[in-house]
């Protein structure tokens, strides 16, 4: 079971210690360095790419994706957006995201 306590900020750490679920989804406002240190030792993390990168694309999308993959690579992590995909996301950016992840794992 995955829980997504969106917008709770530092309370994510408390959620990560609860045993009622197996994974905690983090929104894109959570700093990945903080999440790695304070959440990932307690729980699998899902997230947290800002869906705006699927609109803007380019180097920023690639760099942020690599940053997330590399930072969470030492523990349980399910790559995902910090919240749902937006209608204005560009398919070529979704394809770039998938390619970038596949190249890094």
Nearest by Cα to 21 from 1, 7, 49, 41: 1
The pLDDT score that the predictor gives to residue 62 is 98
Model pLDDT, residue 83: 86
pLDDT for 90 equals 97
Please tell me whether residue 55 adopts helix, strand or coil conformation.
Answer: helix
pLDDT tens, per residue, the chain with 105 residues: 999 998 888 888 898 898 899 999 999 999 999 999 999 999 999 989 999 999 999 999 999 999 999 999 999 999 999 888 999 999 999 999 999 999 987
What is the DSSP secondary structure assignment for residue 11, as one 8-state letter?
G
Q: What are phi and psi of 37, to 5 degrees?
A: -75, -40
Q: Please give the distance of CA 25 from its chain centroid, rounded to a whole number.
A: 7
Q: What is the predicted pLDDT for the residue at 10?
A: 84
């Amino acid at each position: 079971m995955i829980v997504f306590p969106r917008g709770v900020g530092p309370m994510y750490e408390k959620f990560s210690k609860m045993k009622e679920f197996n994974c905690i989804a983090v929104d894109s406002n959570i700093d990945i360095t903080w999440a790695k240190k304070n959440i990932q030792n307690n729980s699998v993390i899902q997230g947290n790419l800002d869906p705006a990168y699927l609109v803007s694309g380019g180097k920023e999308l690639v760099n942020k994706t690599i940053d997330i993959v590399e930072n969470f690579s030492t523990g349980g992590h399910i790559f995902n957006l910090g919240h749902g995909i937006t209608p204005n996301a560009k398919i070529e950016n979704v394809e770039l995201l998938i390619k970038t992840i596949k190249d890094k794992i």
